[in-house]
Chains A and B, each alone.
Chain A
Amino acid sequence: QVQLQESDPGLVKPSQTLSLTCSVSGGSISTGGYYWTWIRQHPGKGLEWIGYFYYTGSTYYNPSLKSRVIISVDTSKNEFSLKLSSVTAADTAVYYCVRDSRRGLFDYWGQGTLVTVSS
């Protein structure tokens, strides 16, 4: 059974870089065909797709965040990461790491981690 677990950065100061890691267990992140994805949810609001890292090495980011986002994979640790730079209070959200097995078929989710941007 595949399991995903986000790290817990908690509080991030405005203008800093938000860094999150997702540890994958029960399967190899190197296995072909999966989009390793981040999705966020602002408090009390809907879901926002952030982007993915595909096993071939390609990435795609939501244009609304593109200039600030990097998603990468560390196969040696079987984990993938999200970096979001120049954060503001508008980036306060629950961040989910997700395995997408067929463009929009989100079959495994982390439990989510609340990241608060505040000084």
Chain B
Amino acid sequence: DIQMTQSPSSLSASVGDRVTITCRASQGIRNDLGWYQQKPGKAPKGLIYATSSLQSGVPSRFSGSGSGTEFTLTISSLQPEDSATYYCLQHNSYPLTFGGGTKVELK
């Protein structure tokens, strides 16, 4: 299985801050990486597919980059509604595997 490692596991930032989350794969996955946002008690919501393609309805302040084994999710200007846990997902090979999550809190 491909192991996905996210960092940091948590962070605290202010409204308007630029936030970056990193995800590393245990082996190369080309650009087969997605990002999901989960709020407490809710199902995850898709943000990004294939490293940088925004899913429908996702605000443009979210962006993704990377390739191979290292990927980033960037929130260009953090908003109150962005407080959530973020997971990366490799969709290069089965079984699909998620990162451990990054909890984003507002200061």
Q: Do A and B come from one complex?
A: yes
Enumerate chain A residues within 8 angstroms of B91, measured Cβ to Cβ: 103-105
Query: How far apart sit A43 and B45, CA to CA, in the bound complex (Å)?
Result: 18
Closest Cβ of chain B to A100, distance in Å, is: 9
The chain B residue sitting closest to A61, CB to CB, is B95
A102 on interface, CB distance cutoff 8 Å: yes
Enumerate chain B residues within 8 angstroms of A62, measured Cβ to Cβ: 95
Query: How far apart sit A103 and B42, CA to CA, in the bound complex (Å)?
Result: 22
Tell which of B1, B43, B89, B100 touches A104, judged by Cβ atoms closer than 8 Å. B89
The interface residues of chain B, by DSSP majority, are classed as loop
Tell which of A49, A64, A104, A107 touches B32, judged by Cβ atoms closer than 8 Å. A104
**A105 and B96 in contact, given A46-B101, A63-B1, A110-B43 (Cβ under 8 angstroms):** no
Q: Is the CB of B46 within 8 A of A107?
A: yes
Measuring CB to CB, which residues of chain B are less than 8 angstroms from any residue of chain A?
1, 32, 34, 36, 42-46, 49, 55, 87, 89-91, 94-101
Q: Provide a sorted-by-A list of 5 A–B residue pairs whose CB atoms are within 8 angstroms.
A: A49-B95, A60-B95, A104-B89, A104-B96, A109-B43
Beyond known contacts A105-B34, A109-B44: 9 more, CB 8 A cutoff: A47-B89, A48-B98, A62-B95, A64-B95, A104-B34, A104-B89, A104-B96, A109-B43, A109-B45
Measuring CB to CB, which residues of chain A are less than 8 angstroms from any residue of chain B?
46-49, 51, 60-64, 96, 102-107, 109-112
